[in-house]
């Protein structure tokens, strides 16, 4: 199961931040770390556990598309437990 | 794995908080790190001087500013605004999210929705959508807006705020030389023996350039300063001669000089015979007038004797004669400088042409120190507005929409179908806003204006007529891209948060034809985004909806950028900095610049240099050489071989510049028994333009916290007001209450009051006049008639 390490930048809207955090917390694949303020924004470390790398990518893009998310940066993907990495990668 | 992943993400965040590089990688040869502070070059955000600063960044913030010693413009010196320019980014109320007015309130919305709203307004009726831009637009921003409107919407209703500050300089240059912008450069200030200020106050408005002159004196050089002005200022304090004139008197003074040069026989006969032609006003009036002979000119100028000029201008005849003696001495090197006093003038085109004429007739032209040079107020009125052509009649490269050949050239360069560019010029600024404030059923056919990087609610003249009425018209929609709340955003329907200065890549062009570049150094706050991206994103929204105007002739997106053969989705802000969009747009724009010999070098040359003055031409050894002195054979590469001077865009098509006869004409409004004072408006050292940036810098705000009415002590005594007491200034258009300042840094003569326009709580443009020059369409902010009434007896220092 690939494990993706993300940094999610949240915009300065308390309402939207709460909506994002509530939404992500409800997703069993997502683990949120401790957010840190950075200028007017907030950076949140996020770990994503998905069945495939493709699903990880789609989920990251879905997070990036959420209202209140400025950007999602991929720190790394650990897919060391996959049997055949070449065919799994999209 | 999960724990390791979390540690990795958290580590990245921690490193970023401690100053690890946050921005897309860029190659800047000027980048250096000292004690944890990352330094890089940028031109100052403020005025048209174009000083270079070193910007120090740490922890994602601008933490230090220093003058750049390697910069030829300022050589390490900055003015008080420049030293504080970094703080302009950090006012508490930066706009960070798009806001849409709903039920009278501005509410946050997403960028997706904002782009849809704009696209809807375009598609409502593309012909009624207008763009109001700025001399603070970067070159790529202005180019993108110009292409969007003229190459995309087939709509020429795009005009800049520089219509209000530089348009008469443009028409003055065009009618004299056939091409815009100064022949000389700042090097003239290092070589001149005499410098003449025509209605400007460079000690406060262009202090770094002023310092170049004053520094020479402090080193023991003799530089004579002549100050032609309607009120004494800090510049007057350094002048050897102050010619205190009545408003509009400059027309008479210039004609008086021309008269004396001919009457005394001290004009440069050889220069005039070889390189000049004469022109007079035509009927009907046209920018290029009609050809006249020297004898015709001599006859017309004959009435401008010193006595007559004294009568018109209020300047003693003796002083006119002394100034003419200076101009008649060809051993002296004379530079003239001017700015808003000459340009914001209902005879601004004429006044510009007359100053050029004085220099041409007297032969004070074309060698270092001899130059008539108009200065710009905005950082890129030249580089963007004038060169990229973001005016309602213009195209890039000095082309005009009314010329079929020019339109074809433009359509080929933009790769759009022939017929895409509209032949009819759009509305100029005053016309545009008047139309927007006119109900649709009464012919107001502009339904939407998108404003970027300017504050028309504060800076348009006669705002009670040109701006505020539109806000009561339900079908008129105002979009504003800005960095802070302003008088304009207060009344907008859609507000878009913009990145500013070093929060984005940029390029600008200053008063001496110097194009300059910088890289993005810090992130914009919240969801603020580049103005250029905003334009491209709206274009893409329209493209995705099938709007034909956003396709080139091959059906591709008008703003397509490819890398390795694949289109980069730059309309998606997450990918906007995957490539250098500035470089892409600039390189697309460059071929235009050769059309009128304003050649620009490749983008990377500007990365390396502290700007280059065009035309920049490639040498046999592949290096790029700038041009300091245009039309002069010793420096301008476009001057035909063997010629000393060559005005290669001559309107008489014979290589000659035009010396104009423009008669004196009275101003459209003058004091009378009901409105017995002259009102002049302008700027102060500490604040730039409408103060939306500088009033948020605490040090500058404390130094100059509010606007004031500057008046003569005699007038104050007659009115019964003391320093700090309030007066009502009233014109036929509106009124304003202000504190009085007597004995301040400026001294208007009796009968004149001066009010600076930087204060958003004291909007003097509710009072000013929107009468404008017939050719440039530039309004006159320097003279209208007002009444003054005393309001209170409470004192308070301004």
**CB of A63 less than 8 A from some CB of B:** no
Domain final position from B569, B594, B619: B594
Alpha-carbon distances of B784 from A18, A85, B568, B753, rounded to whole Å: 56, 78, 53, 10
Any domain includes B443:
yes
Give me the number of domains chain B comprises: 4
Any domain includes B395:
no
Judged against a pLDDT cut of 80, whether residue B198 lies above it is answered with: yes
The residue among B767, B705, B781, B700 whose CA lies nearest residue B739 is B705
Pairing of strands B129-133, B448-452: parallel
Judged against a pLDDT cut of 60, whether residue B528 lies above it is answered with: yes
B128/B386 Cα distance (integer angstroms) = 24
Q: What is the mean pLDDT of chain A?
A: 82
User: What is the three-class DSSP state of B751?
Assistant: coil
- Burial profile B327-346: b = 16 or more Cβ within 10 angstroms, e = fewer: bbeeebbbbbbbbbbbbbbb
Mark yes or no for CB contact B96/A67 under 8 Å. Answer: no
The reply to whether B231 and B313 lie within a common domain is yes
- List, in sequence order, the alpha helices (H) in B594-676: 603-608
Residue B544's pLDDT band, with cuts at 50, 70 and 90, is: very high
B616/B612 Cα distance (integer angstroms) = 7
B589/B586 Cα distance (integer angstroms) = 5
Any domain includes B383:
no
Location of structure tokens 């990518």:
A57
> Taking a C-beta distance cutoff of 8 angstroms, is the pair B480, B492 a contact?
yes
- Please report the residues numbered 560 through 589 in chain B whose beta carbons come closer than 8 angstroms to any beta carbon of chain A: 574
The pLDDT value recorded for residue B131 is 98
B471/B464 Cα distance (integer angstroms) = 11
Judged against a pLDDT cut of 60, whether residue B702 lies above it is answered with: yes
Mark yes or no for CB contact B5/A33 under 8 Å. Answer: no
Any domain includes B380:
no
Q: How many CB atoms lie within 10 A of CB B381?
A: 31
The reply to whether B197 and B320 lie within a common domain is yes
> Taking a C-beta distance cutoff of 8 angstroms, is the pair B319, B243 a contact?
yes
The reply to whether B74 and B118 lie within a common domain is no
The encoded tokens of residue B734 equal 């509106």
B252/B572 Cα distance (integer angstroms) = 57
The reply to whether B182 and B328 lie within a common domain is yes
Question: pLDDT per residue over B427-481, tens digit each?
Answer: 999 999 999 999 999 999 999 999 999 999 999 999 999 999 999 999 999 999 9
Any domain includes B392:
no
B373-397 mean pLDDT: 96
The pLDDT value recorded for residue B18 is 61
The encoded tokens of residue B661 equal 């006869």
Question: pLDDT per residue over B728-775, tens digit each?
Answer: 999 999 999 999 999 989 999 999 999 999 999 999 999 999 999 999
Mark yes or no for CB contact B13/A45 under 8 Å. Answer: yes
User: What is the three-class DSSP state of B540?
Assistant: helix
The encoded tokens of residue B188 equal 């003239």
B278/A65 Cα distance (integer angstroms) = 65
Question: pLDDT per residue over B114-141, tens digit each?
Answer: 999 999 999 999 999 999 999 999 999 9
The reply to whether B138 and B84 lie within a common domain is no
B294/B487 Cα distance (integer angstroms) = 51
The pLDDT value recorded for residue A85 is 45
**CB of A31 less than 8 A from some CB of B:** yes
Determine the distance in angstroms separating the CA of A37 from the nearest CA of chain B, rounded to an integer. 9
The reply to whether B330 and B356 lie within a common domain is yes
B367-391 mean pLDDT: 97
B215 phi/psi in degrees, rounded to 5: -60, -35
Mark yes or no for CB contact B574/A40 under 8 Å. Answer: no
Any domain includes B381:
no
Any domain includes B355:
yes
The reply to whether B194 and B116 lie within a common domain is no
> Taking a C-beta distance cutoff of 8 angstroms, is the pair B233, B223 a contact?
no
The encoded tokens of residue B28 equal 């800047």
The reply to whether B308 and B447 lie within a common domain is no
Judged against a pLDDT cut of 70, whether residue B189 lies above it is answered with: yes
The reply to whether B150 and B269 lie within a common domain is no
Q: How many CB atoms lie within 10 A of CB B424?
A: 10
Helices B306-313 and B249-264, interaxial angle, to 10°? 170
Alpha-carbon distances of B401 from B164, B176, B552, B616, B717, rounded to whole Å: 21, 21, 19, 26, 55
Residue B426's pLDDT band, with cuts at 50, 70 and 90, is: very high
Q: Closest partner residue to B13 among A12, A43, A70, by Cβ?
A: A43
B782 in catalytic set: no
Percent of chain B with pLDDT over 90: 92
The reply to whether B410 and B270 lie within a common domain is no
B51-78 mean pLDDT: 94
The residue among B305, B298, B364 whose CA lies nearest residue B330 is B364
The reply to whether B151 and B20 lie within a common domain is no
B717 phi/psi in degrees, rounded to 5: -65, -45
- List, in sequence order, the alpha helices (H) in B530-580: 531-544
B378 in catalytic set: yes
User: What is the three-class DSSP state of B707?
Assistant: coil
Judged against a pLDDT cut of 50, whether residue B80 lies above it is answered with: yes
**CB of A11 less than 8 A from some CB of B:** yes
Q: What is the DSSP letter of B221?
A: -
Residue B273's pLDDT band, with cuts at 50, 70 and 90, is: very high
> Taking a C-beta distance cutoff of 8 angstroms, is the pair B143, B396 a contact?
yes
Question: pLDDT per residue over B6-52, tens digit each?
Answer: 888 888 887 766 654 444 435 577 777 788 888 899 999 999 999 99
The residue in chain B having the minimum alpha-carbon distance to the alpha carbon of residue A10 is: B526
Domains and CATH numbers, chain A: 3-80 (3.30.70.260)
Any domain includes B619:
no
Supply the ipTM of this predicted assembly.
Answer: 0.84
Determine the distance in angstroms separating the CA of A80 from the nearest CA of chain B, rounded to an integer. 9
Domain final position from B548, B568, B594: B594
The C-alpha angle B77, B139, B157, rounded to 5 degrees, equals: 130
CATH number, domain of B45, equals: 3.30.200.210
Q: Which of A40, A42, A49, A61 to mutate to test the interface with B (most CBs of B within 10 A)?
A: A40
The reply to whether B370 and B516 lie within a common domain is no
Domain final position from B375, B394, B425: B375
Mark yes or no for CB contact A43/B16 under 8 Å. Answer: yes
Alpha-carbon distances of B182 from B185, B382, B443, B630, rounded to whole Å: 7, 10, 40, 8
Instruction: Look at A70-74, B170-174, B290-294, B680-684 and tell me which has the smallest mean pLDDT.
Output: A70-74
B696-718 mean pLDDT: 96
Among B47, B56, B81, B152, the active-site one is B81
At a CB cut-off of 8 Å and minimum separation 6, what does B672 contact? B785
The pLDDT value recorded for residue B23 is 44
Judged against a pLDDT cut of 50, whether residue A86 lies above it is answered with: no
User: What is the three-class DSSP state of A23?
Assistant: helix
B372/B352 Cα distance (integer angstroms) = 9
- List, in sequence order, the alpha helices (H) in B391-490: 404-414, 429-436, 456-459, 463-466, 487-490
Instruction: Give CA B210 to chain center in angstroms.
Output: 19
Instruction: Look at A31-45, B365-379, B572-586 and tell me which has the smallest mean pLDDT.
Output: A31-45
B641 phi/psi in degrees, rounded to 5: -55, 135
**CB of B4 less than 8 A from some CB of A:** yes
Q: What is the DSSP letter of B193?
A: S
Q: What is the mean pLDDT of chain B?
A: 95
At a CB cut-off of 8 Å and minimum separation 6, what does B671 contact? B677, B678, B751, B785
Query: Does residue B79 have a cis bond before it (omega within 30 degrees)?
Result: no
Location of structure tokens 């890549």:
B505
CATH number, domain of B517, equals: 3.40.50.740
Location of structure tokens 């993400």:
B9
Mark yes or no for CB contact A47/B13 under 8 Å. Answer: no
Instruction: Name chain A contacts of B527, Cβ cutoff 8 Å.
Output: 11, 70
Structural domain of B11 = 2-90
The pLDDT value recorded for residue B664 is 98
């Amino acid at each position: 199961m690939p494990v993706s390490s993300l940094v999610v930048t949240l915009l300065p809207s308390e309402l939207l931040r709460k909506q994002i955090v509530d939404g992500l917390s409800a997703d069993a694949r997502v683990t949120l770390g401790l957010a840190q303020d950075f200028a007017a924004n907030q950076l949140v470390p996020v770990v994503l556990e998905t069945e495939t790398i493709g699903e990880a990518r789609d989920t990251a893009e879905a997070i990036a598309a959420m209202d209140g998310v400025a950007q999602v940066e991929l720190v790394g993907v650990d897919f060391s437990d996959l049997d055949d990495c070449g065919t799994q990668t999209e | 794995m999960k724990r390791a992943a979390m540690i990795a993400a958290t580590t990245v965040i921690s490193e970023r908080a401690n100053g690890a590089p946050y921005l897309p990688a860029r190659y800047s040869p000027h980048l250096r790190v000292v004690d944890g502070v990352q330094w890089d070059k940028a031109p100052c955000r403020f005025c048209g001087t174009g000083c270079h600063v070193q910007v120090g960044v740490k922890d994602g913030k601008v933490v230090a500013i220093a003058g750049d010693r390697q910069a030829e413009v300022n050589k390490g010196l900055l003015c008080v605004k420049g030293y504080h320019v970094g703080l302009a980014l950090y006012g508490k109320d930066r706009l960070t999210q798009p806001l849409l007015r709903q039920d009278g309130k501005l509410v946050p919305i997403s960028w997706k929705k904002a782009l849809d709203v704009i696209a809807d307004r375009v598609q409502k009726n593309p012909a009624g959508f207008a763009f109001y831009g700025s001399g603070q637009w970067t070159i790529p921003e202005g180019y993108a807006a110009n292409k969007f409107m003229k190459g995309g919407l087939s709509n020429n209703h795009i005009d800049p705020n520089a219509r209000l500050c530089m348009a008469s300089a443009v028409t003055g240059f065009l009618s004299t030389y056939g091409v815009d912008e100064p022949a000389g450069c700042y090097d003239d200030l290092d070589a001149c023996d005499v410098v003449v200020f025509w209605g400007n106050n460079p000690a406060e408005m262009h202090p770094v350039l002023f310092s170049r002159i004053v520094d020479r004196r402090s080193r023991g050089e003799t530089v004579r300063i002549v100050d032609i002005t309607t009120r004494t200022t800090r510049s007057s304090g350094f002048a050897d001669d102050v010619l205190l004139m009545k408003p509009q008197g400059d027309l008479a003074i210039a004609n008086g000089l021309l008269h004396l040069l001919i009457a005394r026989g001290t004009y440069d006969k050889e220069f005039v015979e070889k390189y000049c032609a004469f022109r007079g006003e035509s009927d009907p009036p046209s920018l290029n007038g009609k050809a006249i002979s020297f004898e015709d000119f001599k006859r017309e100028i004959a009435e401008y004797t010193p006595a007559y000029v004294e009568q018109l201008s209020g300047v003693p005849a003796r002083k006119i004669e002394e100034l003419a003696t200076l101009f008649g001495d060809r051993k002296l090197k004379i530079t003239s400088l001017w700015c808003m006093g000459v340009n914001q003038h209902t005879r601004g085109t004429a006044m510009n042409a007359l100053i050029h004429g004085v220099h041409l007739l007297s032969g004070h032209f074309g060698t270092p120190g001899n130059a008539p040079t108009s200065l710009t107020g905005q950082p890129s009125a030249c580089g963007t507005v004038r060169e990229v052509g973001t005016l309602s009649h213009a195209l890039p490269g000095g082309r005009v929409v009314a010329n079929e050949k020019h339109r074809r050239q433009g359509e080929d360069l933009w790769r759009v179908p022939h017929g895409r560019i509209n032949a009819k010029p759009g509305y100029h600024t005053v016309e545009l806003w008047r139309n927007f404030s006119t109900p649709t059923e009464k012919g107001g056919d502009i339904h939407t204006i998108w404003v970027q990087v300017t504050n028309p609610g504060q800076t348009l003249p006669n705002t009670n007529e040109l701006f505020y009425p539109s806000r009561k018209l339900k079908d008129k929609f105002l979009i504003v891209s800005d960095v802070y709340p302003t008088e304009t955003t207060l009344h907008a329907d859609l507000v878009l948060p913009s990145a500013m200065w070093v929060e984005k890549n940029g390029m600008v062009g200053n008063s001496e034809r110097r194009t300059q570049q910088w890289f993005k150094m810090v992130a914009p706050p919240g969801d603020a985004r580049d103005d250029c991206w905003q334009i491209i994103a709206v274009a893409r929204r329209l493209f995705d909806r099938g709007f034909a105007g956003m396709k080139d002739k091959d059906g591709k997106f008008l703003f397509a950028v490819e890398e390795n053969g694949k289109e980069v989705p730059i309309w998606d802000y997450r990918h906007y900095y995957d490539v250098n969009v500035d470089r892409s747009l600039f390189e697309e724009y460059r071929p235009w610049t050769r059309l009128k010999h304003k050649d620009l070098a490749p983008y990377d040359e500007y990365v390396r240099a502290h700007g280059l003055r065009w035309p920049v031409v490639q040498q046999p050894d592949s290096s790029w050489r700038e041009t300091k002195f245009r039309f002069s054979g010793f420096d301008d590469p476009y001057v035909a071989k063997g010629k000393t001077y060559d005005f290669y865009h001559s309107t008489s098509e014979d290589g000659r510049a035009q010396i104009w006869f423009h008669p004196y004409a009275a101003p459209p409004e003058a004091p009378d028994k009901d409105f017995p004072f002259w009102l002049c408006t302008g700027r102060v050292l500490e604040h730039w333009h409408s103060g939306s940036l500088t009033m948020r810098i605490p040090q500058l705000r404390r130094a100059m916290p509010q606007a004031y009415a500057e008046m003569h002590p005699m007038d104050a005594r007659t009115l019964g007001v003391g320093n700090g007491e309030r007066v009502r200034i009233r014109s036929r258009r509106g009124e304003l209450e202000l504190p009085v300042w007597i004995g301040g840094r400026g001294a208007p003569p009796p009968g004149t009051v001066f009010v600076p326009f930087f204060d958003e709580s004291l909007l003097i443009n509710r009072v000013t006049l929107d009468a404008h020059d017939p050719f440039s369409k530039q309004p006159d902010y320097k003279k209208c008639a007002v009444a003054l009434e005393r309001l209170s007896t409470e004192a308070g220092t301004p």
